[in-house]
Amino acid sequence: MTTPPTIESERLILRPFEPSDFEPMAAFYADEVSSFYGGPCNREEAWRKFVMYPGHWTLRGYGPWALETKDTSQYIGLAGLWYPESWPEPELTWALLPDFHGLGYATEAGNRSLQAAYDDFGWKTAVSVIALDNTPSARVAERMGATNEGVIDYRYGQAHLWRHQTLESLRGQTPT
């Protein structure tokens, strides 16, 4: 799959990235808030990170979506499926522009992405790799019902590995 499907949640549209999404992502990557996501970095490096998202879809057949609000059609960040080289397992990821923190968008996008991982892409499990001091993302994982499995070493240092509920668990079933 090279073109990501567009999917929706209650308040969000999860869609393919567009060139106009780069400016807000460049600002995100220039800000200290991006330190949990491989930043901060200059504009050229932000471009390289930005083009990885559609490239991930091309090479893996899944990837992160651009997030857009339904009510304003504003780009607010990204969420989705992620499994780069050297990552411990396929991951559920999210990163919001600072103006959209604390509004429940990350949890909503994470839940919709997890549903897509299981229903549309056949995943059996998913994790989120969350930096040790990224308390807001840890809270998102908790709200989603994920379990902290402990500390791991990864590309940017150490992180908590959060295990998301299985499809059976989300649907209240016991595995067969």
Q: Say if 176 falls within a structural domain.
A: no
Q: Provide the residue range defining the domain that includes 68.
A: 7-170
Written in H, E and C, the secondary structure of the chain is CCCCCCEECCCEEEECCCHHHHHHHHHHHHCHHHHHHCCCCCHHHHHHHHHHHHHHHHHHCCCEEEEEECCCCCEEEEEEEECCCCCCCCEEEEEECHHHCCCCHHHHHHHHHHHHHHHCCCCCCCEEEEECCCHHHHHHHHHCCCEEEEEEEECCEEEEEEECCCHHHHCCCCCC
**Residue 149 pLDDT exceeds 80:** yes
Query: Where residue 103 sits, what CATH number does that domain have?
Result: 3.40.630.30
pTM tops 0.85, yes or no: yes
**Residue 176 pLDDT exceeds 70:** no
Number of domains within the chain: 1
Q: How confident is the model at residue 174 (pLDDT cuts 50, 70, 90)?
A: low
Q: Which pLDDT belongs to residue 1? A: 57
Q: Say if 92 falls within a structural domain.
A: yes
Q: Which pLDDT belongs to residue 161? A: 98
